[in-house]
Structure 1
Amino acid sequence: MPASIPFGVDLGNNSSVIAVARNRGIDIVVNEVSSRSTPSVVGFGRKNRAIGESGENQRNSNLKNTIANLKRLLSLSTKSPDYDVEKKYATYNLVDKDGFAAAKVRFQGKEKEFTSTELVAMYLNKLRAVTEKETEAHVSDICLAVPVWYTEQQRRAAADACLIANLNPVRIVNDVTAAAVGYSVFKTNLPEDKSKNVAFIDIGHSSYTCSIAAIKKGEMKIIGTAFDKNFGGRDFDRAITEHLADEFKGKYHIDIRSNAKAYSRVMRASEKVKKILSANTSAPVNIESVMNDIDAQSTLSREELEELVKPLLERVDAPVKEALEIAGLKIEDIDSIELIGGCTRVPALKTKLAEIFGKALSFTLNQDEAVAKGAAFICAMHSPTMRVKPFKFEDINRYSVTYSWDKGDEDTDHLEVFPKGGAYPSTKMITLYRSADFEINAKYTNAEDLPEGVSQDVATWKITGVEIPEGEDSAICKIKVRQDPSGFYTIQAAYIVHEKEFKELVEKPEEDDKKEDDKKDDGKKGDDDKEGDEKEEAEPEYRIVKKLVKVKDLDVEYSGHALSKDALQESLDQEFKMVADDKLVAETEDKKNALEEYIYELRAKLDEEYKDFASDSEKEALKKKLSDAENWLYEDGYDTIKAKYIAKYEELASTGNLIKARYQQKQEELRQKLQAKKERRAQKAMAEQLARQAEAAKKAEAKKAKKDAKKDSDGDVPMN
């Protein structure tokens, strides 16, 4: 298979966008229906899964088994208020599994529960398959763009989902940061000295983020970020739906709130109305058979929509103010405001943001594709086979993290290593004096800063292999702690150092003065100077110095929010089996369709093209076989195994192909006769053309001879 290509995914709550980096640039990958975005849904059926476009197509008919809002569900604690929010939007059975949101569905005839990590993995695996089919290239590395408000636990879950999907997560990046990277890399007129302050506003399907970046040529740093997790396109859709629910109740005496399918239909219609009102001042609402076979109609104006979402619009300025405060900037310090995310097309939002910043908004980036393109570029930065522009970028830490240990003989038992607002990736060193193996814990420093339901624990590491050097009471242990590019808190290395003595050359301080004097006396040396130079140089002097030298690496065992090896392998095996099942179902359906098509095609041809190539008895027998096969196909064979469809097809083809072969043989004979006839005509035409050319040449030669004779006759002069 060809070499792997860098793969960037903007994991959207409503739909996701895929981008790949190639030598000529970054391309958006279209899916199986040539769409540049893929619905973020996973559906479960009687035999197989329907993911992406196929899942969206059967969503209304399979609401209870179609999972949406995957980004919001990922590692969502059931103690979080967001869990109750998601229940309002869930048409499926959202359940608690080990303290986290999971989906309970009916799949392959059984009730099953899938964790949010497994669901996201299924979706990413589908995106990988779409990309490999479209690009005809292998995909292994991924840069996954996730919301800025994801905690360590959610980011770890995102990485685990990639691994279950057989992808290597080279980076988990904040979505707005990815867009800012794309902006910074491809913007041609950036300053080289003083940074330009750019505010990136991302309002998508379910959330709103404001990130402020300091950008200059070849470098970008996020200096402030804030968000509203429950402000997005779906909140606008719900406001319209609730308005229509009240209207339909009075107008048609139906309560769509009591019927999940009816409410879902109106929500989808509301989304279309919202989009129409972004370009028009009013929009019609027409929903066929919304409930109880009633067709519902209404209209909505842009002014009415703005009144419905007034409570939302009043919250627009909060993330901007908080991001500016974190960045230490004022509104007037912002040089540009870049808008991304589908919901930023709503005119009321654009007007409100322009009022807040007091200047024109910019739409340099593609609102739907900027994040995916930035993620693909970041993935390319990690690729050993891809050459990209040198670029450095840093993100901002949302929460402070403290590392702690047993105090022992230390002065303290903890240290705030990565403060809130600090930049990452970042590496720090901790020195501990230990006499035995030990543990280090990482926790969020301030529990009150965390969203409700988020665990304060980050991770625990067991450090083993401690050996005390001879003559010492304890070992000097150096611990390299790191917040890596994905935002994960890790211990990158741990080792023992020991103090050792070394001989070090002592440099004489007068050497510099002598050099200066030599410059002054240059060209003025006499014989006495030469004699001085020839004197024997002094012996070099050494001193004994003590230095810390690494003498042994320590073993580090991680225990945190990432899946254990056994749990990860179990999920991998489950996904592999489901992929195989899906493939088998698809192949079985293909064989069934092929059989059905062959029955109808052969029956029609027996009375048309093939009628002269089979005896009456052959046709009668074959028609009976076709009729029997058709009856079987819609009765006992309606739902059977792949092998039976193949066997039935081959049974019909054993006779049908004989007749087809006679027909094709006759057609080949006719084709050869026609070809021979064409060749004879061509030869005859060529002979006639050659004859005409010869006749023309003969006439031309006679004419020339006559002309020459006349010329000779006219040239004779009579003699007197």
Structure 2
Amino acid sequence: MSVVGVDFGTLNTVIAVARNRGVDVITNEVSNRATPSLVGFGPKSRYLGEPAKTQEISNLKNTVGSLKRLAGRTLNDPDVQIEQQFVSAPLVDIGGQVGAEVTYLGKKEKYTSTQLVSMFLSKVKATASAELKLPVSDLVMSVPAWFTDVQRRALFDAAEIAGLKLLRLMNDTTAAALGYGITKTDLPTAEEKPKRVAFIDIGHSNYSCSIVEFKKGELAVKSTAYDRHFGGRDFDKALVDHFAAEFKEKYKIDIKTNPKAVVRVAAAAEKLKKILSANQQAPINIESLMNDVDVQSMMKREELEALVEPLLKRAHVPLEEALAQAKLNKEDIDVIELVGGCTRVPALKERIQQFFGKNLSFTLNQDEAIARGCAFSCAILSPVFRVRDFAIHDIVNYPIEFTWEKSPDIPDEDTSLTVFNKGNVMPSTKILTFYRKETFNLEAKYAEPDLLPGKINPWIGQFSVKNVKADANDDFMICKLKARLNLHGILNVESGYFVEDMEVEEPIPEEKDAEKKDGDKKDPNAMDTDDKPKTRKVKKQVRKGDLPIVSATSSLDQSKKEAAAEQESSMIMEDKLVADTEDKKNELETYIYDMRNKIDDTYADFASEDEKTKLKAKLEASEDWLYDEGEDATKAVYVQKMDEIRAVAGPIAQRYFDKVEKEREAQRQADEAEAQRKKEMAEAARAAALAQEEASSKKDEEMPDAETVKPDEVTEPESK
């Protein structure tokens, strides 16, 4: 079973997998650790991820980005109108949901944002499967903390269409916090003061700040604040606007009238911004930008900072809001941990450091921390891996209230209640009690619509409670409903049941010895009796049966999901067929060039002149066909053309391979003979050495022992 964490970003997506030795970020088909979050459409197939990025400039009107920020939105949402500035394809309304109109397989098609996300998740699934060499089904995916119920449900639907099971939708900063805390061995114990860390995530389009308290084995999010329109792309846009004005004055070209020129300048501006993060100045050069005009310019870091000053002035706002919600001061924060690519901008780091008045921390990988946290979460939820227990307590970001129909039998009944307040721990379950004599409906919605992003409808869902009726005495049925805000941040009324007030007997707890009176002490001489425990009658609510609940939410109907999944499967098969066809075409082209080189070189001695002439003629004819008529042939035709060449070249190649095989066999036999010779020589040497050793040993045994002469027995010779 695979354990996959996905940081689904506006610009790029990072995929991490849990392995026995930890968490690894996997690379895609071109060995990049981040995959562009793009979906493109062409005359033959789709382009997902890297291929979509490669053909983006030449296929602008059929390429869709900002997938995450379109999910669960409507076309008239002001946030969607902002996204249109960053999405090349035209956005349209599809049944109340925003989507894109593109040309696919030569026809105009419309796809909802949910379908577009599912297409990209299919790519994520394929990339992870190719790396792991296992089928991928379960994953944990990150989302911004400000995502609402409808946006989260849209991602769930997209994952299901792509054949994936989302184990958890995790807030970005919470995922970063998990990746930070689960590896720490020095966290304070339950009795000690918690470690407070501010996680600041500034990515391509979004700025979030969460205050998190850590104790051994757990984290608790105390607050989360955000700026939904603050990120790297806003810095890029400031640069594009600046250079558009400069090029208009300097080169008399207006790039705003040419979408391709704007995209090329945006790509150059992004590179310039990155260079200026490490250097004081950087050049920008674009060849043939527009009307065959080459452009160039130079920018200093101070100029960039002046351009983005309006953005930098907003940098402190989420920080102040997060501290206020957590009811903490700057001095209470122990560590300020930064993640997200935009946190590399020196001016931004400087503003954040000035705000807190202490050094910033960069212990996490800024681009991969969230994906790693998601992979850890997936490993925790998976039964396959044994991971250190780590509890995650996230919070509700928008207050949720329930409203219901007033009962005619209860004229003064309140008809609304805020069930989940902002800042409540999530996941969370609440039991709602109603007194009713007939079926009734209740509705869930966000209590403060002004807090929601853009113009998202505050409505969450409607729930109809069935089989409610008065009892035999025409009294109310006591209905209990279980409302749950789950770990994904999605609300449901999960179950309903009814209870009755009944008298039941329960044992009276015995008094403690210290509380007993002296007169109640047991006589040691008295006989033991089997006294029954004392009981009392109390009124309790006893569950008597279930109540069916019919839910209406923003999730797609099962039939629509199945239809979309079937369509996605057919598109995947179409993409695969096109890829296989392209492979066969390339294989044919390579084979023609390879054979043309070999016929006068490697195979020259193995073919007659007649065979060479025939093969050269066949190769030339095949090449002419390939570049004239064979551009759009089917896979079967390319295979057939390859077989035709092989029919002519086969006997020649076979003769060459037979000779090579004979040479290999002869070489193998020679190697074996040489090995045998060396083996025999080694054995002979060992035998000779052994014989010499035995002879030496025998000679030592035959020699008499030398007499021992004591020193005092030595005498001088007598003098004459």
TM-score by length of 2: 0.91
CA contact (8 A) 1:10 1:144 kept: yes
CA distance in 2, matches of 1:348, 1:461: 50
Structure 2: runs of 5+ lacking an equivalent? 708-720
- Write the deviation string for residues 157-208 of structure 1: whole angstroms up to 9, x where unpaired: 1111111111111111111111112212222222222222221111110111
Partner of 2:151: 154
Q: How does 1:507-522 map to 2 (within 5 A)?
A: 507=509, 509=511, 513-514=515-516
Displacement of 1:693: 8.8
The answer on 1:636 being equivalent to 2:636 is no
CA distance in 1, matches of 2:319, 2:52: 36
- Write the deviation string for residues 636-694 of structure 1: whole angstroms up to 9, x where unpaired: 22211111112222222233223222221122222223333444555667777888999
- Write the deviation string for residues 575-631 of structure 1: whole angstroms up to 9, x where unpaired: 111111000001111111112222222232222222333333333333322222222
CA contact (8 A) 1:79 1:452 kept: no
Partner of 2:306: 307
Partner of 1:718: none
CA contact (8 A) 2:4 2:378 kept: yes
CA contact (8 A) 2:437 2:469 kept: yes
Q: How does 1:258-273 map to 2 (within 5 A)?
A: 258-273=257-272
The answer on 1:648 being equivalent to 2:641 is yes
* 167-176 vs 533-542, which moves further: 533-542
Partner of 2:406: 407
Task: Give the 3 Å change call, closer, same or farther, for CA 544–106 of structure 1 in structure 2.
Answer: same
Kindly provide the amino acid, as one letter, of the partner of residue 582 in structure 1: D
The answer on 1:92 being equivalent to 2:85 is no
Partner of 1:337: 336
* 652-661 vs 236-245, which moves further: 652-661
Kindly provide the amino acid, as one letter, of the partner of residue 573 in structure 2: A
CA distance in 2, matches of 1:401, 1:617: 85
Kindly provide the amino acid, as one letter, of the partner of residue 445 in structure 1: A
Partner of 2:582: 589
CA contact (8 A) 1:469 1:498 kept: no
Displacement of 1:114: 1.3
- Secondary structure, counterpart of 1:106 in structure 2: strand
* 389-398 vs 252-261, which moves further: 389-398
CA distance in 1, matches of 2:236, 2:639: 48
CA distance in 2, matches of 1:15, 1:170: 22
Kindly provide the amino acid, as one letter, of the partner of residue 486 in structure 1: H
Kindly provide the amino acid, as one letter, of the partner of residue 620 in structure 1: T
Q: How does 1:381-530 map to 2 (within 5 A)?
A: 381-408=380-407, 409-410=409-410, 411-466=413-468, 468-507=470-509, 509=511, 513-514=515-516, 529-530=523-524
Structure 1: runs of 5+ lacking an equivalent? 716-720
Displacement of 1:505: 3.1
CA distance in 2, matches of 1:691, 1:338: 72
Q: How does 1:177-188 map to 2 (within 5 A)?
A: 177-188=174-185
Partner of 1:574: 567
Displacement of 1:509: 4.7
Displacement of 1:541: 4.1
Task: Give the 3 Å change call, closer, same or farther, for CA 540–291 of structure 1 in structure 2.
Answer: closer
The answer on 1:38 being equivalent to 2:35 is yes
CA contact (8 A) 1:200 1:211 kept: yes
CA distance in 1, matches of 2:586, 2:417: 66
Q: 1:623 is matched with which residue: 600, 605, 616?
A: 616
Q: How does 1:696-707 map to 2 (within 5 A)?
A: none
* 184-193 vs 485-494, which moves further: 184-193
The answer on 1:236 being equivalent to 2:229 is no
Kindly provide the amino acid, as one letter, of the partner of residue 372 in structure 1: A
Task: Give the 3 Å change call, closer, same or farther, for CA 517–596 of structure 1 in structure 2.
Answer: farther
CA distance in 1, matches of 2:696, 2:374: 81
Partner of 1:600: 593
Partner of 1:548: 541
Kindly provide the amino acid, as one letter, of the partner of residue 114 in structure 1: Y
CA distance in 1, matches of 2:243, 2:229: 21
Partner of 1:18: 15
- Secondary structure, counterpart of 1:128 in structure 2: helix
Kindly provide the amino acid, as one letter, of the partner of residue 428 in structure 1: K
Partner of 1:562: 555
CA distance in 1, matches of 2:336, 2:158: 33
How many residues were matched structurally?
A: 700
CA contact (8 A) 2:439 2:468 kept: yes
CA contact (8 A) 1:396 1:421 kept: yes
Q: 1:58 is matched with which residue: 55, 58, 73?
A: 55
Kindly provide the amino acid, as one letter, of the partner of residue 351 in structure 1: E
* 643-652 vs 357-366, which moves further: 643-652
CA distance in 2, matches of 1:696, 1:20: 59
- Write the deviation string for residues 368-395 of structure 1: whole angstroms up to 9, x where unpaired: 1111111111122221222222222222
CA distance in 2, matches of 1:213, 1:697: 77
The answer on 1:121 being equivalent to 2:118 is yes
CA contact (8 A) 1:429 1:480 kept: yes
- Secondary structure, counterpart of 2:539 in structure 1: strand
- Work out the percentage of aligned pairs sharing the same amino acid: 47
Q: 2:163 is matched with which residue: 151, 163, 166?
A: 166
- Secondary structure, counterpart of 1:329 in structure 2: coil
Q: 1:77 is matched with which residue: 66, 74, 77?
A: 74
Task: Give the 3 Å change call, closer, same or farther, for CA 423–649 of structure 1 in structure 2.
Answer: same
Task: Give the 3 Å change call, closer, same or farther, for CA 682–396 of structure 1 in structure 2.
Answer: closer
The answer on 1:666 being equivalent to 2:659 is yes
CA contact (8 A) 1:92 1:104 kept: yes
CA contact (8 A) 1:202 1:209 kept: yes
Task: Give the 3 Å change call, closer, same or farther, for CA 692–510 of structure 1 in structure 2.
Answer: closer
- Secondary structure, counterpart of 2:159 in structure 1: helix
Q: 2:64 is matched with which residue: 64, 67, 90?
A: 67
- Secondary structure, counterpart of 1:571 in structure 2: helix
* 390-399 vs 43-52, which moves further: 390-399
* 401-410 vs 446-455, which moves further: 446-455
CA distance in 2, matches of 1:160, 1:498: 39
Kindly provide the amino acid, as one letter, of the partner of residue 554 in structure 2: H
- Write the deviation string for residues 334-378 of structure 1: whole angstroms up to 9, x where unpaired: 222111110010000011111111111111211111111111111
Task: Give the 3 Å change call, closer, same or farther, for CA 20–468 of structure 1 in structure 2.
Answer: farther
* 611-620 vs 11-20, which moves further: 611-620
Kindly provide the amino acid, as one letter, of the partner of residue 593 in structure 2: Y
* 197-206 vs 681-690, which moves further: 681-690
CA distance in 1, matches of 2:696, 2:478: 114
Q: 1:48 is matched with which residue: 19, 41, 45?
A: 45
Task: Give the 3 Å change call, closer, same or farther, for CA 271–535 of structure 1 in structure 2.
Answer: closer
Kindly provide the amino acid, as one letter, of the partner of residue 419 in structure 1: N
CA distance in 2, matches of 1:220, 1:390: 11
Partner of 1:609: 602
Displacement of 1:469: 4.4
CA contact (8 A) 2:2 2:135 kept: yes
Kindly provide the amino acid, as one letter, of the partner of residue 198 in structure 2: A
CA contact (8 A) 1:79 1:99 kept: no
CA contact (8 A) 2:614 2:648 kept: no
CA contact (8 A) 1:9 1:375 kept: yes
